[in-house]
Amino acid sequence: MQPPDRTPDPPPADDRRVEQAIRWRLILGQHADENLGFERLRGRGSAALDGILGDAERLETPLSYIYDREHTERSHRQAGAGQGGGLSVPMWLSRVRDLFPREAAQIMERDALTRYGLHELVTDAEVLRRAEPSDDLLRAILQFKHLMKGPVLEAARELVAEVVARIAGRLETECRPALYGPMAPRRRSPVKSFKNTDWTRTIRRNLKHYDTERRRLVAERIHFKHRGRRRSPWHIVVAVDQSGSMTDSLIHAAVMAAIFTRLPAVEVTLVLWDHRLVDVSHQAHDPIDVLMGCQLGGGTRLLPAMRYCADRITDPRRTLFVLISDWFVWGDREACLTLAEEIAESGVHAIGLSALDTDCRPVCDERFARALAGGGWTVAAMTPRMLAEHVGGLLA
């Protein structure tokens, strides 16, 4: 009786090749199993590699929860629930934080929000309280805050406050020298005239030189007072387009307006507009209130906003009008340009700032921007620091 045929056991796999296959499996996902022979890897390497395989399977669950969606979006391969199919958003976030380095976790959270639309990250109070504050999360909260109520809104506001404080600290550090100038420990009058004489200080400092024989004070040094020049206050008008593409510009504009409110002898008007208009000047000192109250997503009706701001200008030559938009204007384009030219001719320092994306690249209708520049406006794509330098030059 012949013994049954038996396929000999395969030789042990090379440890390095097995580890490479495990790493590629994490990158490529479950649809690479057939080509990698992933199911046959267990037990073919050393005990250490078996441990690596177990770790990889734990990492696979949160990765699959997010990145299996890529196959569905591309439509060339139908993705099932994957190993992450049974996770909730809080469970997924917890595992990402526990299993991955901080930098990798931040990338995955950003992909979940911006690439795959996992909006539960910003509409679940528990998730928000555990989320890592970031600029991307701030943008997502501003886009979906209309879905938030009660504890979710409170958690979102706390997170917004933390991110805005970080942005404000960075911008104020960058902009302070341009806005306030170098710090002078003691200011002395540049004009040495009789009317500027500081008699009290002069007498006190020269008493040691009193001539007792002649009974007179010998003043070896005359001291003078500094007389500050009286000027009418500056009026800075900031009008920000809050249509859907303006999130990054709106965040920076709100923070810069708050910085402007702390300048001496400066009045700030802050207006948000799309196809509607709202004056939030009473909140200009608090960028958190401004951002949590804005309504992103409307159209770009520029003319009503320009008329509203123009009506609030009382001293054109002491007014800086900062208009921030992507310039994709709905109708009334010629009327907008005509009014813009009238504003510039009145003596207003008029600046048109083009919207910037996250990489500080301008995103705008260049044709309208050129026409606005032709009407006497300074039109540019400025970073907040560049704007501060421009404002500081005017206020000096």
Show pLDDT as tens, one digit a residue, over the chain (396 residues): 455 555 444 445 556 766 677 777 677 666 666 666 656 655 555 666 666 666 666 777 777 777 776 665 555 444 444 455 556 666 677 777 777 787 787 787 778 777 777 777 777 787 788 777 888 788 878 877 877 888 888 888 998 999 999 988 888 888 888 787 654 444 554 556 666 778 888 888 888 877 788 888 877 788 777 655 555 789 999 999 988 678 888 888 999 999 999 888 899 999 999 888 999 999 999 999 999 888 777 778 899 999 999 999 999 999 999 999 989 988 889 999 999 999 999 999 999 998 876 566 777 888 999 999 999 999 988 888 888 888 888 876
Longest Cα–Cα distance of the chain, Å, equals: 144
Q: Name the residue ranges covered by the structural domains of the chain.
A: 15-74, 89-164, 194-230, 234-395
Residues 6+ apart with CB under 8 A from 368: 327, 328, 329, 333
User: 329, 326, 337: which is closest to 364 by C-alpha?
Assistant: 326
Q: Confirm if 324 and 353 have CB atoms less than 8 A apart.
A: yes
Q: Left if phi > 0, otherwise alpha if psi is -120 to 50, otherwise beta: which for 192? A: beta
pTM over 0.75: no
Q: Confirm if 97 and 105 have CB atoms less than 8 A apart.
A: yes
Alpha-helical regions (H) of the chain: 15-28, 33-36, 47-67, 69-74, 89-99, 102-110, 125-130, 135-144, 150-180, 199-206, 247-261, 287-293, 302-311, 333-345, 366-374, 384-395
CATH topology of domain 234-395: Rossmann fold (3.40.50)
